[in-house]
Amino acid sequence: MERRSFANGARVSVLGFGCGRVGSINNTVPMREIEATLRAAVEHGIDLFDTADIYAQGDSERTLSRLLAQYRDRMFVVTKVGGCHSRFAGPIRLAKPVLRMLVRSRTQLRDAVVKARAATVSYHFQPRDLRLAVDRSRRRLRVDRLDGLLLHSPSLETLNDHDFLAELLVSGQAAHVGASVKTLPEVEAAVAIPSITMLQVPLPVARSLTGTEIVERIRQRDIGVFVREILESVRLGTTPPQEAVSAAIAPDFITAAIIGVSTRQHLSEAVAAVS
């Protein structure tokens, strides 16, 4: 599989595995199939894995830690911090086996679980909160140094007044740092942060970057740009999956496309788009 470079010689596959639903209650795919799909991704040459501390109440990171134990030299794991679950996250995690069985057969219950989960997530970007979050992610992933660390949906205010990322680089807790943002102004603010070497953006924002001055700054600094939410147009029935993935990685300033898959069949379809 093609690999692309970004800051300081880092290289990753052009296709990244999005782990937002790994270990999630509303993912009806059995965990044994999800873990088999993760292993198959590595065998296909995918080395970029995208997760976050809040995904599946931390179980996404825990699942990846087991894969890292087997494939450490063949994986580049990017995690995100800043989001926080409510105090009910612990009990929910313990009840997952039962809850997962229930949502498999009840679509309405699955939708309710997704809405309830979103309503309980808040975001905190104070340095103390972030330091604790980074330590917890390193423990869950069982690594001393994170391959990549992103601020998870930070506000413009956070991006305009933030030196925590530089601290992580100096301390050796992360090899690369950046931000996962939602809008063009947030991209511009993130690129202005000297320590940033990675950006994650939705596909519509990536498209709007083409031909702008921001792209030139991204090129000059060799910032890795990871595109997400690629399959939205596929779900809307406007674009075939392979075409959507191929188009997402076509611009030369894009480093990789992040795709969420849960089965080996879906993985094979995604891999075919970049082969």
pLDDT single digits (tens) 141-172: 999 999 999 999 999 999 987 788 999 999 99
What are 27's two structure tokens?
A: 């993912």
**Which residues, listed in sequence order, are joined to residue 17 by a DSSP beta bridge?**
49, 259
Name the residue with higher pLDDT: 112 or 180. 180
The rounded distance, in Å, linking the Cα atoms of 216 and 207 is 14
Q: What is the pLDDT of residue 89?
A: 58
Task: Name the residue among 119, 130, 137 with its Cα closest to residue 154.
Answer: 130
Name 263's bridge partners. Answer: none
DSSP-derived secondary structure for 6-17:
EGGGEEEESEEE
From 234, 237, 238, select the one nearest 269 (Cα to Cα).
Answer: 234
Instruction: Give me the chain's average pLDDT, please.
Output: 87
Compare 85 and 143 and report the one with higher pLDDT.
143
Q: Residue 28: which of 114, 92, 91 has the closest Cα?
A: 114
Q: CA-CA distance, 2 to 90, in Å (whole number)?
A: 40
The torsion angles phi and psi of 50, rounded to 5 degrees, stand at: -110, 125
Task: List phi, psi (to 5°) of 147.
Answer: -65, -45
Q: What is the mean pLDDT of residues 242-252?
A: 89
How far is the C-alpha of 58 from the C-alpha of 100, rounded, in Å? 16
pLDDT at 214: 95
Domain boundaries 3-272, CATH class: alpha beta
The rounded distance, in Å, linking the Cα atoms of 220 and 45 is 28
Instruction: Write down the pLDDT at residue 266.
Output: 86
Chain segment 18-54, per-residue pLDDT in tens: 998 897 777 778 889 999 999 999 999 999 999 999 9
